[in-house]
Structures are given as C-alpha cells and as structure tokens.
Structure 1
Amino acid sequence: MDNALDAPTAVLLQYIDAFNNGDPKAMSALCADPMQILDGMSPHVWRGPTASEDWWRDVLREGEHTGASGYHIVLGEPQHVDVTGDHAYVVVPATMTVNLQGKQVTQTGSIFTVALGKVGTQWRLTAWAWAKGA
C-alpha cells in the first residue's frame, strides 16, 4: 500500500488504540472539529469537538445499565481506503469483545466506516459509523 493510503489508516488505528485503552481524550485529539459519530446506541448521533468524549461517556453509562465493560476492538484488513486530496474514506471489518455480566461476548461481522480530512498536514477523523454485526 502506498503512503497516501497508509496515513489515514494509521490515524484510524491510533483512534482504535485509544478506544481500547479507554482514553477518550486521546480519541478526541485525533478528530477534526467538527466531528460526527453515528452508532447503534442511543442517542445515536454525537457532534462537535467533544463528540468522542461525549460518546465514550454514553458508552460507560450504557455499560453500567447493561453490565458491560472491557470493550476491545480488533480491525481487519480495510475493504476500502479511498484518498482524494485532503479527504479519505476507510471501510474496515471489525470485531468487538466485551465483558457482559461476567461473560465475554464477541461481536463479529461489524463494519467500521470512517471519513477523515487533513487539518493542516495531519489526518483527523471527521466522522465515523459503526454497523453492528452478529
């Protein structure tokens, strides 16, 4: 893969590492302003400079309600990495494991779709959507 395609994917991997480490501030630092998130969890859409932190707060609240914790995402090989100038679109299969009421549950077949844009010389996430698998 050439460097033009590697750079947006590398930022996406950093975002997932921050997620896996439970670090919403590091997640936000990799996002553009504005940022948008679309997820299956209510309220389903988060926007603005603190979208990742707000979404993470809601993940933890939902986890308290359902007994979920220990979220971890593993990404597969990207299905699409399209870069046009200062804009990129990445679609990647994902697997998420979570501890649900004391049992490890694995969600397979999910799709993580991310839009990125350049902020100065740095790639930053501008939006993402999670399509839940099995």
Structure 2
Amino acid sequence: MAVVRQYVDAFNNGDEKAMAAVCADPMQILDGMSPHVWQGPTAAEDWWRAALAEGEHVGASGYRIDLDEPRHVDVTVDFAYVVVPCTFSYNLQGEQVTQTGAVFTAALGKVGTAWRLRAWAWAKG
C-alpha cells in the first residue's frame, strides 16, 4: 500500500515525475478517459498530460483522490494486487464535484528490492 499511497500523493500534488518514479518499466494504465490505455516506460507521464489536456478541454482542475481502506492487498512473493475504494474530487467549471464509490486497482511487482506499480486501472463510482 505504501507505493499506492506514494503514487496517489504524487497525483494529488500534480507531480508527474514522482508518479513515474514509483512505476515499473514498462507500466500500463487503463482509465475511462480516451484513449483509455497508456503503456510503456512513460505511461504515467503520458497519462498525466492527457488528463491535464482533457481537464483543460472540459474546464476541470483541482484533482484529488482520497483512498479508503483497501478491499484487497494480496501479496505473492514479488507480486501484489491491490484494490482500494476511493473518492475523487475536482472542480468543474467553478463547481466542486465529488465522485464517490470509485475503485483504484493496481498490480505491483518488485524491481530489485523496491515495490513498483506495474499497472493500474480506475473505475468510476
């Protein structure tokens, strides 16, 4: 969970380099925003730039994810699977929007001795 929290903290701080730093190479992201899949060594940065561009297009900003208690943290030697309910909030054209019941799912693996995100997916609530 520590790596998932680091990634989400970096997201909340708008720090794409810190997001990328906790990702494995290659990385995969599956999200509801088109083109829906980002993969490769720059997946986190590419996804972040796409999210900012989409936000600018629709008038959204001030993104924040708040994690709840995880539903699953399954670890098998050097691999892990994490499912975390969460709340996503943002500003949309001057109005605060709060999306409850969302789920952040991640697959992790060890790179050397460090845990890294290998893939994540987002499901809206």
TM above 0.5, yes or no, is: yes
Q: 1:81 aligns with which of 56, 67, 73?
A: 73
CA distance in 2, matches of 1:64, 1:129: 22
Kindly indicate whether residue 86 of structure 2 is the aligned counterpart of residue 94 of structure 1. Answer: yes
- Percentage identity across aligned positions? 77
Displacement of 1:103: 0.7
Equivalent residue, structure 2, for 1:117? 109
| Structure 1 unaligned blocks of 5 or more | 1-8
Within 2, Cα distance between the matches of 1:51 and 1:23?
14
Counterparts of 2:29 and 2:121, CA distance in 1:
6
Q: Secondary structure at the match of 1:41?
A: coil
Structure 2 residue aligned with 1:37 = 29
Question: Aligned to 2:96, what secondary structure does the other structure show?
Answer: strand
Q: Which runs of 4+ in 1 moved over 3 A?
A: none
Between the aligned partners of 1:33 and 1:49, the Cα distance in structure 2 is: 5
Which of the pair is proportionally richer in strand?
Answer: 2
Deviation string 1:106-133 (CA, Å, 9 cap, x unpaired) is 0000010000000000000000000011
Structure 2 letter corresponding to 1:95 = T
Hey, what's the Cα distance between the residues in 1 that align with 2:124 and 2:68?
15
TM-score (norm 2): 0.99
Deviation at 1:21, TM superposition (A): 0.2
Number of equivalences: 125
Structure-1-length-normalised TM-score: 0.93
1:4 match: none
Aligned Cα root-mean-square deviation (Å): 0.4
